[in-house]
Amino acid sequence: MEPDVLPPEYAAALPARLVPSQRAQAGDPGTAEPAHAAGLRHTDESELLAARQRSQLLWEQSALGMVEWDEGFRVREWNPAAERIFGYTRDEALGQHAHFILPDTVRNSVSREVLDILLAQQGGSYSLNANLHRDGRVIQCEWFNTSLVDENGQTLGVTSLVQDVSEREAAQTHNRYLAEHDELTGLYNRKYLSHRAEHAISLASAQQPLALAFIDLDNFKHVNDTLGHSAGDRLLCLLAARIGAQLRAHDCAARQGGDEFILLLPDTTLPLAGALLDELAAALAAPCHIDGHEICVTVSIGVACYPQDGEDFDTLLRSADMAMYDAKRDGKNTWRGFRAPLRDRASRQMLLESALHRALARDELSLHYQPQFALGSQQLLGFEALLRWHSEDLGTVSPVEFIPVAESCGLIAMIGDWVLQEALRQLSRWQAAGFAPVPVAVNLSAAQFLQSDLAERIARALDAHAVDAALLELELTESVAMQRPEEALEQLAALHALGIRVSIDDFGTGYSSLSYLKRFRLDRLKIDRSFVADIVEDHEDRAIVEAVIRMAGALGLKTLAEGLETPEQLAWLTAQGCDAAQGYLLGRPAPAGEATAWLRAQAVATT
């Protein structure tokens, strides 16, 4: 056989569409070609052989699986890449029906009609299918299918290119999950819930109401502080599971972030929401066991209803949030529905926050000084510095209103530092004017008292203004002192070492531990005005005040009554041995100029 001539059996397999000269060149005795075409024959045969070799290499080395199906959708050819994808060798796959690589759930849905449609398609088609690996795994595969059609237009089968995209699809599925779910608890996230809520709102009506509940765990920070954030995370997961278990089929729960959760309750009125939330709160209150610790959790919940409390998700969520804070103010461990005044209060608070940020820069804050007198002698003992605010935009704002706002927005420590500096500055002016030294009492917020460097900061301020530490008195409420009693003991010892006097303000309104009160380095107790107001008529208030005065005397502490307004109160307190008092009867809070006049009068009285 000449090198340039193909074997007869190979030539016979060549497609009929080859020109007669090519078939003769391949060794077909029934054909002939002119002699002048001999020069082209060798080139055509070489190109044909090269093309077939390239096709064979592509078939064998392709990263894509290549499968040829006959008209009955049985495997006619199966390349090595298909072996790797599905786990079946070529010999095992040949003749198998397409069902052999389909899971049962998919196999049952792939009918003969579907396969006939695929066979009849002229051109290509794409599909993403769940397929079955030989080892039983379900894999995700992309298929690119092309019908095989002969010269007469008859469909002979299908050729498919296939690739395993399981890892890609798993990554995309995971990304979709993360886009919709909270990664820690597995509940939905706020973004997804907002889509669900807007859809539910579009379907809601007066006949199909909708409620949105905002849940906040009470005192969750204490868990993180004492047991660590890992324990806190596990507690959140446990509680999230309980929330999910309490939901109805059409409800939806999401984690807002931190220790906050949101519930979407379609077809739910406020009374029905309240009943559901009572059950939820009871489920959440069951003890949780984390790292050997038993933790009992309570929740504060706010509820807003469509459409009266908001006509879109964001408005409903704000309304539910306001209602939740209303529940917090009412003692926690309860739920509250939204009320219109809450929106006015929230708007006012936002206005106050914005104005408070500008107050210091605009020099809008000032101190008024209320005199404190010894009972019996009526001698001026000192002043309490009281913060006042006259806003350029809002006018005079009561401390009862703006102090809680300053605490909630994180400005109280900065404002408290200003009060301390201003009080010391005024003391320095009085010293320079030659007045007899009298102490000034300044209130400390929890944010200030818990500063680790409080004693050092106050020592620097005293030095900067050249004021004797004995002239500064710091007032703490019971709740501040008892928030972290062991830390309070260290802080009070450091302040006492500087020579600063410390008193407990509003005594009797908190829950002081007498064992800690005995250990605190204190100078006096201030009896709250709520007990003083009715001591003449109310025997219970008289009994409480009498007990405080005796207890203080036994502990070596002085007492001062706040809110003294009538001569009868003055007479009774004096008779009981109360040491000092302040109130409108003795003197209203006044600017520094009027306080200076009291000092001048005191100086005249003693000469």
The string of pLDDT tens digits covering residues 551-564 is 999 888 999 999 99
605 or 86: which carries more pLDDT confidence?
A: 86
Q: What angle do CA 47, 53, 56 make, to 5 degrees?
A: 145
Pairing assessment for the beta strands 380-391 and 395-397 based on DSSP bridges:
antiparallel
| CB-based contact 442:419 (threshold 8 Å) | yes
| CB-based contact 276:264 (threshold 8 Å) | no
pLDDT score for 134? 93
Has residue 37 got a pLDDT over 70? no
pLDDT score for 12? 39
pLDDT score for 424? 96
User: Per-residue pLDDT averaged across 372-379, rounded?
Assistant: 89
CA distance 156 to 554: 109
User: Per-residue pLDDT averaged across 58-75, rounded?
Assistant: 88
Neighbours of 88 (CB within 10 A): 18
User: Per-residue pLDDT averaged across 230-237, rounded?
Assistant: 93
Has residue 408 got a pLDDT over 70? yes
**What average pLDDT does the chain have?**
85
| CB-based contact 265:276 (threshold 8 Å) | yes
| CB-based contact 181:173 (threshold 8 Å) | no
Task: Give the tokens for residue 57.
Answer: 């290499």
Closest by alpha carbon to 322, among 307, 340, 299? 340
pLDDT score for 11? 37
User: Per-residue pLDDT averaged across 391-395, rounded?
Assistant: 91
| CB-based contact 93:130 (threshold 8 Å) | no
Strands (E), 22-181: 65-70, 75-78, 124-132, 138-149, 155-164
Has residue 204 got a pLDDT over 90? no
pLDDT score for 121? 60
What are the φ/ψ torsions at residue 306 (nearest 5 degrees)?
-85, 135
CA distance 129 to 425: 79
Q: What sections of 499-537 are H helices per DSSP?
A: 514-519, 529-532
pLDDT score for 113? 57
CA distance 235 to 255: 13
pLDDT score for 291? 87
Reported as a pLDDT band with limits 50, 70 and 90, residue 607 is low
Each residue's pLDDT tens digit, 518-534: 778 788 999 999 999 99
User: Per-residue pLDDT averaged across 48-62, rounded?
Assistant: 83
Each residue's pLDDT tens digit, 75-85: 999 999 999 99
Reported as a pLDDT band with limits 50, 70 and 90, residue 3 is very low
Residue with tokens 């929890």: 446
3-class DSSP string for 362-428: CCCEEEEEEEEEECCCCCEEEEEEEEEEEECCCEEECHHHHHHHHHHCCCHHHHHHHHHHHHHHHHH
Is the bond preceding 307 in cis, omega lying within 30 degrees of 0?
Answer: yes
What percent of the chain stands above pLDDT 90? 54
Has residue 230 got a pLDDT over 60? yes
Has residue 510 got a pLDDT over 80? no
Amino acid at 586: L
Reported as a pLDDT band with limits 50, 70 and 90, residue 373 is very high
Has residue 277 got a pLDDT over 80? yes
pLDDT score for 116? 62
Reported as a pLDDT band with limits 50, 70 and 90, residue 14 is very low
